[in-house]
Amino acid sequence: MKKIAVFASGNGSNFQALVDAVKVGTLQAEIGLLVSDRSSGAVLDRAQKETIDYFCISPRDFADKTEFEMEIVQQLKSRAIEFIVLAGYMRLIGSTILQEYPESIVNIHPSLLPAFPGKDAIGQAIDAGVQVSGLTIHYVDAGMDTGPIIAQKEIEILPDDTKEELQKKIQQAEHVMYPEVLQELFS
């Protein structure tokens, strides 16, 4: 059984979907740590409620990105973490973590990459007037949402969909697909 760390910055709905999948056995993994770059927020509340160990770290407390990531790696290694799952983590992973976890970091992104990488992908899709968006699960590399694609799912954008409605549709699909794809990777 893989021992994973989940990195998240915000609400933590994908974190919760992973926790729930582990509980029911559809994701055979142990969530050994939540890493957050924010010292408060819903994802931390979720980790506390689920009694999952968590670690909060602010890059502002370090001289540079290397020092920041070295502290994260130390926390991961001390808990024997084997795999990193990004779930709404709003920072680029740098070379220090990438070197320690080669081909062992995945991300979920709310667009059909390579379209609409980076922040506010849902808003970008709405503004572009596309009829289809979706989600992408991919390996993490040094670029922004540029790693090899593992899986994608298309989501139709209806003419009257708001950004919030599209976000809700994409998140519902993410909560089902992310645990399934991770289980495939781990088995």
- CA 14 → CA 103, 109, 129, distances in Å? 21, 11, 26
Identified catalytic residue from 46, 109, 138, 169:
109
> Helix, strand, coil % (nearest 5) of the chain?
40, 20, 35
109 is catalytic: yes
In contact, 6 and 47? CB cutoff 8 Å: no
Nearest to 25 by CA among 164, 180, 185: 180
Annotated catalytic residues are 109
